A and B are shown apart, each in its own frame.
Chain A
Amino acid sequence: MQPLNRRQMAWRAAQDIEERSLVNLGMGMPVHVADYLRPEADVFIHSENGVIGAGPLAAPESADPDLVDASSRRITLRSGAAIVDSVWSFAMIRGGHIDVTILGAFEVARNGDLANWDMRMPDKGPLVGGAMDLAAGARAVWVIMEHTTRKGGPRLVEACTLPLTGKACVKRVYTDLAVVEVTPAGFLVREMLDGLTPAELQARSGAPLTFAPDCRPLAAPPLADTE
């Protein structure tokens, strides 16, 4: 089977969100999780700019320049939504009121260290936004990222080489090849792409993997990758 594309990875993560969760979705791949939430889950999506209950993107004709998410996208509100200021929005994050945040990442270490904000791009200014607050404050931190870099290097690593966003915070990683839990004993593979062997997945990873006895095939419905 083909590795999951970006939308399929978002779909896979969306299936694990529990009913009535308050969820924060990071920029990039994680925002697509909103498109695949199970309707019966009745999830509230939190955006750092203070929107609690963000709905789908607004149609161009009804878009309002003041109704935006943290990525400046013009959105709608779901039923029961509320809007607060930035202080309250981050008190919500820091105070442990966000059930799950799903973030993109460059690297995740076997102890759960997260590197997702600084690729050390020459000349570019730093952009941390709310990533460190989410990493430190959300009740669960999940990551969606490709299993390896474009050059084929591992992103699941022994220790992060890029600047950290947070220490020992990641609980679960969804990649194009596997679903991996971060446990006190390191990376535990819960699901793996059909046709891949444990040795092949290990070869694409920079830290030891263990495989759950009930490790299942990683699968997602066909979804066009729009990016």
Chain B
Amino acid sequence: MPIDKRVKSAAEALADVPDGATVLISGFGGAGFPNVLIHALRERAAKDLTLVVNSATHRFSLTHELIEAGLVRKIVCSAARGHDKGLSAFERLWKEGKIELVCLPQGTFAEAIRAGGAGIPAFYTAAGFGTELTKGKQVRRFEDRDYVLERAITGDLALIRADTSDLYGNLTFRYAQMNFSPAMATAAKLVVAEVRAVVEEPIPHERVQLPGTYVDRLVAVAG
């Protein structure tokens, strides 16, 4: 049978997500949030999730639904501050000690995911040296500079958002939609992409921004 990674619905794509899964979720700056998949994960109601997501909550993202539903045990991110003056869903549960938080410099967050998908267990970076965020981490001097040892990040599941896919799962992205999606797709065991459109014809190779070999399941969504 020819390759066709489409599944009928977001619910079907996430039907086998177990409790305790580590889930990488794309999106930054208002673009590339896989909101249909995030909502479907809420419906799936797998518990004790670890979210690896740049912003714990974001006004254009639905991650707050997972948090408010009590499905999240831990968040790894670079921004954990709510948009509003009051406490965000995350901030409330974090203050109550119900969600564990790991905050990383955003470039370290991105590189840790890249490393995870590239078979590199840890790497050194100067970002965050001498700050509270890297307290307790191993430091090593190369030439005349101090660097912090950061561990790679991998996950069980990546939820990503792209513009167009072909049946192989080759993806293209619009404008700033790419952000964390390509790296996250390399670092998770199961990769589900939500796309605006699936085209029957293979996407020309020079236009492919993420090879379909990284993508397991496709969900076409409206808009």
Contact = CB atoms under 8 A, between A and B. Distances in A.
Interface of A: 47-51, 64-72, 74, 83-87, 89-91, 93-94, 118, 123-133, 135-137, 163-167
Interface in B190-219: none
Contacts of A84: 178
Contacts, number: 159
Given A74-B30, A164-B131, 14 more contacts: A49-B31, A66-B174, A86-B54, A94-B107, A94-B126, A123-B95, A125-B80, A125-B81, A125-B90, A126-B133, A128-B78, A128-B104, A136-B126, A137-B126
Given A68-B31, A68-B176, A83-B175, A128 B56 contact: no
Given A49-B179, A50-B176, A51-B176, A128 B103 contact: yes
Contacts of A70: 28-29
A90 B182 CA distance: 14
B79 A90 contact: no
Interface in B140-185: 163, 174-183
Contact of A86 (B28, B81, B82): B28
Given A132-B127, A137-B127, A90 B176 contact: no
A132 B128 contact: yes
B160 to A, nearest CB: 11
A124 B82 contact: yes
B24 interface: no
B175 A163 contact: no
Interface in B1-55: 28-32, 54
A47 to B, nearest CB: 7
A126 B108 contact: no
A159 to B, nearest CB: 12
A101 to B, nearest CB: 12
Contacts of A137: 107, 126-127
B28 A126 contact: no
A137 B145 CA distance: 12
B180 A136 contact: no
Interface in B103-135: 103-108, 110-111, 113-114, 125-133
Using C-beta atoms within 8 Å of the partner chain, give the interface range for chain B.
Answer: 35 or more
B106 A126 contact: no
A166 B108 CA distance: 14
A123 B88 CA distance: 10
Contact of B177 (A66, A74, A129): A66
B82 A85 contact: no
Top 8 nearest A-B pairs (CB, nearest first) are A90-B107, A125-B80, A133-B107, A72-B30, A132-B105, A127-B81, A49-B29, A67-B175
Nearest to B223: A65
A124 B81 contact: yes
Given A94-B125, A137-B107, A132 B131 contact: yes
A124 to B, nearest CB: 5
B29 A165 contact: no
Nearest to B132: A163
Nearest to A115: B131
Given A85-B182, A163-B131, A65 B30 contact: yes
B99 to A, nearest CB: 10
A129 B79 contact: yes
A64 B223 CA distance: 13
A125 B82 contact: yes
Contact of A72 (B29, B82, B183): B29
A128 B82 contact: no
B65 interface: no
Contacts of A69: 29, 176
Given A47-B29, A49-B176, A68-B29, A86 B183 contact: yes
A132 B128 CA distance: 5
A135 B104 CA distance: 14
Contacts of B182: 85, 87
A131 B104 CA distance: 11
Contacts of A132: 105, 107-108, 127-128, 131, 133
